[in-house]
Amino acid sequence: MQMSNIPFGTTDWSQIVPTEHQGATGMAYWRTLNFGDIRVRMVEYTPGYLADHWCVKGHILLCLEGELHTELEDGRLFTLKPGMSYQVADNAEPHRSRTTTGARLFIID
C-alpha cells in the first residue's frame, strides 16, 4: 500500500457521523474517513449482527471491544477479542462476520 498526499491530522471519531448498514441480522454503524484509495473506519456491530454477504475486500481489522467471529467461505472460523486483529488481501478468501455480544472495530481497507 502506498500512502501519499495525506497530511498529518488527528481524528475525533465521536465527531464523524455514523452511517447505518443493515446486516442479515443486526446493524453495523460505520464512521468513515477516506484518504485517496484508503478507507479508514470505526465500526460498531450491534449484538446479534450477521453480515449479509461474503466479503472479498481486503482489510486490516483490529477488535477494540466485544467479540467478533469471522467465518471464511471454506468453513474456517476465527474469533477476535479486544487487542486481536486480522488481515486479508483483496479477493484472497471470502469472509463474513458475526457477533453475539456486539463489537467495536478499527478497520483499514
pLDDT at 40: 96
Q: In this structure, what DSSP letter does residue 18 have?
A: P
Per residue in 46-64, pLDDT (tens digit) is: 999 999 999 999 999 999 9
Domain assignments of the chain as residue spans, ordered by start: 19-108
Q: How far apart are CA 35 and CA 4, in angstroms?
A: 9
Global confidence as pTM? 0.91
How confident is residue 33, by pLDDT bands cut at 50, 70 and 90?
very high
19-108 is classed CATH 3.40.1710.10: no
Per residue in 72-86, pLDDT (tens digit) is: 999 999 999 999 999
